[in-house]
Amino acid sequence: MYKIVSKKEIGPKVQTYEIYAPEIARNAKAGQFVIFRIDDKGERVPLTVAGADPQKGLVRIIFQETGKSTMQLASLCEGDCIKDFAGPLGRPTEIKKYGTVVAAAGGVGTAEVLPVIKELKKAGNRIITVIGARCKDLVILEDELKRESDLLLFATNDGTLGIKGFVTDVLKDIISKEKIDIMYAIGPVPMMKAVAELTRSERIKTLVSLNPIMLDGTGMCGACRVSIGGKIKFVCVDGPEFDAHCVNWEELVSRLELFKNLEKISIDKFKYNQECKCHKK
Amino acid sequence: MSQKVKMPERDPKIRKKDFKQVNTGYTRDEMLKEAKRCLQCKNPSCSRGCPVEVNIPGFIKYLAGDNPSQAVKVLKQKNNLPAVCGRVCPQENQCERLCILGKKGESICIGNLERYATDIAFENNDSIAVAEKSGVKVAVVGSGPAGLTCGGDLLKMGYDVTVYESLHSAGGVLRYGIPEFRLPKEVLDKEINNLKKLGMKIILNTLIGRTRTVKELFNESYKAIFISVGAGLPVFPGIEGENLNHVYCSNEFLVRVNLMRSFDFPNYDTPVYRGKNVVVIGGGNTAMDSARTALRLGAESVKLIYRRTEKEMPAREEERLHARKEGIEFIVLTNPVKFIGDEKKFVKAVECIKMELGDYDDSGRRHPQEIKESNYAIETDMVILALGLHPNPVLTLLTEGLNTDRHGYIIIDDNYMTSVPGVFAGGDIVGGDTVIEAMGMGKKAARSIACYLNQK
């Protein structure tokens, strides 16, 4: 059993947890992920490691309530335990001195970008971070991002923070002004795809962290397979980071739709049960 | 000459709708009748066919005397998972093939008797001879048949054994691969609990290589390590459309159903697609398990496509017969060439080509060749690929100095030792194939490990 040591809501339906898992905390590196399973009937769900404290044995995860399992996870309290917590999984981000690094993030992708820029900054890179959100209230981790970035920029759909527009609008501006050595894009698929299309013509090396459906997360099932340059790769063992210009995005998008109907059944059942519990109280 | 007592099985029409065991097991009278057929050979050939060297006439003698608990004791001297073996071993190629009665009549049903003994007297584990604890620590990586057997034997020799498992539940392929209707998970749980009672520690959610490394294990005063991480990486055919929606590899499909229990969705959280017209590709046990599982999830038709003829199928004869009785359609001498999708990238047909058998190849089987322009399409809404597995690369890539061959299998010497001193390996990760083969390797490796530790 793995204990939730701390819990904090850092945005609308976005939670940050610290889980006591000393072995994972000791070996986790930026870019890796964990798989959790709440209880005996739970499913296995991947989450990026958003940080780790090896001294205290804590692993930080940040997640948005989007499906049944994340809703259930959010309903737990400090001191509660989850059944399974496995990791760190996947290949770590390659950390070295590139020069100027631009990290673009959208949604909870922000939490995945944080450990990556932290390590890249330690390695002596200049970090420009670009965050995209629908509006100001949906921006998370602003203070921490500021601490790890040399320059922090925002794009919001309604213009309440930074420029009015998309991440790619900010990126175009940066590209026109200076040389970028490498770009990271982590967030929703449409955002990563848009960044990839922008940087392809500019010939800027771009890495993305992919988020397909996963089951075991150890390379034994192929649920998370993606086409990279026409070859099958398993995101859980070959990734999650890949060259954005080699990803078959249409395929990834369609494969993410696989269980939409069943996921809805699961969510509806969970909500109904939650309401029932409230009535009983 | 007396005929064998057949194992009773449930009506195909009923059993194909649920996940309960197909074979119901002998009654006491059936068991006695079968056990008494055994000639009790002085120099039994049957035992030589058993990879874990069970004293077969020995346990059958106790059964013939209606003493199943003594029979289990005899079984357990050599076999750490007898309830599993009684159900999933291909006895027709092993012990039963060498039974002297088989020369002129029908062999003893050794597997059925083994199963009877364990079903009746399972909890009886008290008097297994365990050597005095030496306090020497051995780590086993992977809790499949090879790991549990090696770990179990080392326990009996007095070693302090800890098994590391990457998934949230122990058993390897016995847990996630072999379906409930062949091996109830309750039976597997009992076997594993018996090993725990003997002192085996099992640590879950730990991917060796990532969560902790082989080097770290040695630093934690493990004196030897046995690697049995299996061959988990599925093979894809490399043809157009293989990433379409509802094209699964058998491992994914079976993990969802067996390990995650998605047949009981939404009571369990993991979803599974229930195909209506399912196509399974392959001819091994995994293909049979996938086809029969798809049927039990409510498929209207399940077609199994195999490129050779039924005679060459690697699946057990019993499973093939069960599958056919349940209504699985076998389409042999046929190979898929591409998967065709609809506008939303969901699979809607498999384009196949007919095959004929040509010359004999290295494996001693006739090589299938395509018959030109014999292509035709089979409509489907779900494809399950059961084309075999490659060795799992995670641990080998992350362990310095561990040599593998060009296919990724760990290289071992005659004593099951790898290129890293003190690290041994066995099972599918060194090229094994069946559950019992993996167990046999686990047993031999345990002996080598003990020998190595004694010399140190």
Span A231-257, average pLDDT? 95
Most distant pair of Cα atoms in chain A: their distance: 61
A156: phi then psi, degrees, rounded to nearest 5:
-125, 150
Q: Taking the domains of chain A in order of start, what are their residue ranges?
A: 2-89, 100-209
**Whether residue B169 has pLDDT greater than 80:** yes
Residue A281, pLDDT score? 43
Residue A280, pLDDT score? 47
Sorting pLDDT into bands at 50, 70 and 90, what band is B361?
confident
Q: What is the mean pLDDT of chain A?
A: 93
Sorting pLDDT into bands at 50, 70 and 90, what band is B163?
very high
Residue B363, pLDDT score? 74
Instruction: Tell which residue, A69, A12, A26, has the closest CA to residue A46.
Output: A69
CA dihedral sign, ordered B76, B81, B83, B86: negative
**Residue B118 buriedness (CB in 10 A; 0-12 / 13-18 / 19+):** buried
CA distance A221 to A214: 9
CA distance B120 to B372: 56
Span B429-454, average pLDDT? 92
| Predicted confidence (pLDDT) per residue in B103-112, tens digit | 889 999 999 9
- CATH code given to domain B234-389: 3.50.50.60
Chain B residue nearest residue A92, CA to CA: B210
Instruction: Tell which residue, B431, B426, B405, has the closest CA to residue B416.
Output: B426
The residues, any chain, with a CB within 8 Å of residue B363's CB and separated by 6 or more, are none
CB contact under 8 A, A87 and B249: no
Chain A residue nearest residue B167, CA to CA: A216
Residues in chain B with CB shorter than 8 Å from the CB of A43 are 260, 268-271
Q: Taking the domains of chain B in order of start, what are their residue ranges?
A: 12-124, 137-232+391-455, 234-389
Sorting pLDDT into bands at 50, 70 and 90, what band is B131?
confident
Sorting pLDDT into bands at 50, 70 and 90, what band is B120?
confident
Q: What is the mean pLDDT of chain B?
A: 93
**Whether residue B122 has pLDDT greater than 80:** no
For domain A100-209, the question of CATH label 3.40.50.80 is answered with yes
Class of domain B137-232+391-455: alpha beta
Q: Which two tokens stand for residue A166?
A: 């998309």
Residue B1, pLDDT score? 59
CA dihedral sign, ordered B145, B149, B152, B158: negative
Lowest mean pLDDT of A37-51, A180-194, B78-92, B377-391, name the range: B78-92
Sorting pLDDT into bands at 50, 70 and 90, what band is B126?
low
Classify domain B12-124 by CATH architecture.
Answer: Orthogonal Bundle (1.10)
Class of domain A2-89: mainly beta
Span B179-208, average pLDDT? 93
| Predicted confidence (pLDDT) per residue in A94-153, tens digit | 999 999 999 999 989 999 999 999 999 999 999 999 999 999 999 999 999 999 999 999
Asked, as a colleague might, if the bond just before B234 is cis with ω within 30 of 0, I would say no
Token pair 């395509």 is found at B370
- In this predicted complex, what is the ipTM? 0.94
A42 inside 8 A of chain B by CB = yes
Do B302 and B274 form a contact (C-beta atoms < 8 A)? Answer: no
- DSSP letters along A76-94, please? --TT-EESEEEEEESPPP-
Note whether B12-124 and B234-389 share their fold: no
Do B269 and A269 form a contact (C-beta atoms < 8 A)? Answer: no
Q: How many CB atoms lie within 10 A of CB A10?
A: 15
Report the amino acid identity of residue A183. M
A33 is in an annotated binding site: no
Pairing, β B247-249 against β A151-156: unpaired
Sorting pLDDT into bands at 50, 70 and 90, what band is B354?
very high
Residues in chain B with CB shorter than 8 Å from the CB of A218 are 166-167, 207, 232, 392, 394
Residue B366, pLDDT score? 83
Burial call B33-59: b when 16+ CB within 10 Å, e when fewer: ebbebbeeeeebebbebbbbebbbbbb
